[in-house]
Copies of this chain bind each other. A is one copy, B any other.
Amino acid sequence: MTDRELDVVGIGNAIVDVLSHAEDDFLVEQGLAKGTMALIDTDRAEALYAAMGPAVEASGGSAANTIAGIASLGGRAAFIGKVSNDQLGGIFRHDIRAAGVKFDTEPSVSGVPTARCLILVTPDAQRTMNTYLGASLELGPDDIDADLVGNAQVTYLEGYLWDPPLAKQAFLKAARIAHQAGRKIALSLSDPFCVDRHRAEFVELVKNHVDILFANEHEICSLWQVDSFDAALQATRGHCEVAALTRSEKGSVILGNGEVHVVDAVRVGKVVDTTGAGDLYAAGFLFGLTGGRDLYECGRIASLAAAEAISHFGARPETPLAELVLAELG
């Protein structure tokens, strides 16, 4: 793959998801805010896991889900992220490579376990996430493969990388390399609480460094500290070449080339689990963009990929997305 141009390289926390059904009462008992991601330490991870019901394990991580989605669409993609050399790390590595993604980051040998995200899916299909970062905390600038980043049309970064201090440095190194090579930087704001934790830095990034921005309604409102979607939309204009703002079942709004596009959501028979919806939206969008599609088409592919993600348990595609797109858009 190294001798061909890559479409997208993603950098993110390498996480195995532990998914379980839960009632709303359980979230209340555990003091969890529905639909968001909280960082947890070892003790809390053990206590919460002990209280959770039976679970299934599946490779996850926001940017990693996006990259797996791009590969499923037929794109050329690579991932940079840190697992440990334990069983969950082996599962993560297997799954992302089996999806067709180049993944060669050296695993941690410090003994700190692979990151996991305890995800509670309530009967309304919302997911509430609790992340133990583990070995992800060790991702640093040395893990950034300059050839890989220089060779990719887009380097995609998750906002969650701002939480582990070394990863932020890795993020900035990658952004520098990409821009020096004339490439684009894409960022997902990841989570409204993540935006709260790092607002000043995110505003500076969005204004000065990010070419392609992904955010949902809650995140973009939090970024600009406004309370309506329209206010957030107006605040975003003039920053970034392209911004894709998602609104769940209300679809998405895309800013770019001085235009505004409004894209409807793709209807799903039954929403089973919203885990990965935003990640797969970004996958579809970036696949379209790096394939030379116009912004409206990018939004359509993004919406198709997000609809597939919410129709089943877990965040990685179950149906080859290239076939879905071919059937819908040709």
Contact = CB atoms under 8 A, between A and B. Distances in A.
How many copies make up the complex? 2
A314 B58 CA distance: 13
A318 interface: yes
Given A87-B86, A88-B87, A57 B56 contact: yes
B58 A56 contact: yes
A56 B314 contact: yes
A55 interface: yes
B57 A98 contact: no
Interface string A313-325: 1101010000000
Most buried by B among A49, A50, A95, A314: A95
A86 to B, nearest CB: 6
Contacts of A87: 86-88, 113
A68 B55 CA distance: 13
B318 A21 contact: yes
- Among A59, A96, A98, the most chain B Cβ lie within 10 Å of the Cβ of A98
A53 interface: yes
A90 B318 CA distance: 26
Contacts of A203: none
Q: Which of A54, A58, A95, A99 has the most CB of B within 10 A?
A: A54
B68 A59 contact: no
15 contacts: A52-B98, A53-B99, A54-B68, A54-B96, A54-B99, A54-B316, A55-B58, A55-B91, A55-B94, A56-B56, A56-B314, A57-B57, A87-B88, A87-B113, A313-B313
Interface of A: 21, 49-50, 52-59, 68, 86-88, 91, 94-96, 98-99, 113, 313-314, 316, 318
